[in-house]
Structure 1
Amino acid sequence: MQNMFIGKGNLGSSPELKRLTGKNGDFVVATMRVMFARWGQNAEGAVEQVGGFWREVEIYGEKAEACAKHLRKGARVLVIGEEREFMAKDEDGNEVQVIKVSADDVALQLSRIESITFAPARSREEATA
């Protein structure tokens, strides 16, 4: 990997799954926008967000299908892959530089879940009443 990328961020939208046909047959790709925040300390020493950046993340194959099935907007994810830069044209026809991440792995980060509450099991009498 030439431009290795590792980052934790939040999904800006749910992943979009596309089925494509290429030279080597059919394949699937999931595309998602992820916000990667930058954190720092303020004058009082408290940690706060000091910036961030958006990246379009693509992942292929079975992992793409799993992302589309399990991830939703707002989910905290860990992305490992490679950054790729290329030139594209915007709506006005101007050349713009685009940076995407071609992911090898996208993992759901459960650190944002503060608590999970389970309902107590009900007895058979309560279930039939």
Structure 2
Amino acid sequence: MSTHFFGEGNIGSAPEFREFSNRNDEPRRLLRLNVYFDNPIPVKDGYEDRGGFWAPVELWHRDAEHWSTLYQKGMRVLVEGRSVKEEWEDADEKQRVTFKIEARRVGILPYRVETLVLSAKPSSAERDDHSH
């Protein structure tokens, strides 16, 4: 079961990068972020979080290794993708259910960002090579 997901939250730990062999093709690359999606409700003294949740966010992309150095713990992100229900057994053989987010996009929001350095604009051939 999956459904469209769009949420804003904070990265809670250092990003994880993993690479998987893909026979003779280029390896598949995964960037995994642990994100807390909060639900800020305005109150008298600012905001109160009501009903936030943690979810693993998986982003499969050829640039995942580079992005693993870009995303940082504490960074505010906007995630678009789909939520996927996963059923599994724990060590005591009890059935468990968790949800993960398979991200299509993970945007960095400007909160707590001090500087930003852009790379040179890619040529049209490079852009075509990186599009999915």
- The TM-score with structure 1 as length reference comes to 0.75
Q: Which residue in 1 is equivalent to 2:50? A: 50
Deviation at 1:21? 2.4
Structure 1 unaligned residues grouped into runs of 5+: 117-129
- Cα shift at 1:70: 0.3
User: Partner residue of 1:92?
Assistant: 92
Cα RMSD, aligned residues only? 2.2
2:48 alignment partner, SS class = strand
> Structure 2 vs 1, CA of residues 63 and 105 (structure 1 numbering), >3 Å: closer, same or farther?
farther
1:72 and 1:45, CA in 2 relative to 1: closer, same or farther beyond 3 A?
A: closer
In 1, the alpha carbon distance for the partners of 2:66 and 2:109 equals 15
Q: 1:124 aligns to what?
A: none
Conserved? CA contact 1:63–1:105, under 8 Å = no
Aligned pair count? 113
2:124 paired residue number? none
- The Cα of 1:63 is off from its aligned counterpart by 4.4
Counterpart in the other structure of 2:35: 34
Distance 2:21 2:98 in 1: 23
Give the corresponding residue for 1:11: 11
The residue identity in structure 1 corresponding to 2:30 is: V
User: 1:95-114 deviations in whole A, cap 9, x for unaligned?
Assistant: 1011000001111111334x
Structure 1 stretches of 4+ moved >6 Å: none
Rg comparison, structure with higher value: 1
Greater Cα shift, 77-86 or 24-33: 24-33
Aligned twin of 2:62: 62
Residue identity over aligned pairs, in percent, reads: 29
Is the alpha carbon distance of 1:18 and 1:87 closer, same or farther for their aligned partners in structure 2, counting shifts above 3 Å?
Answer: same
Deviation readout 1:68-119 (Å, 9 max, x if unpaired): 0201111111111110002011232211011000001111111334x67xxx
Per-residue CA deviations over 1:29-84 (Å, capped at 9, x if unaligned) read 11111001111133x48432223100100001234224302011111111111100
Q: Which amino acid in structure 1 is aligned with residue 60 of structure 2? A: Y
What is the Cα deviation at residue 7 of structure 1?
0.8
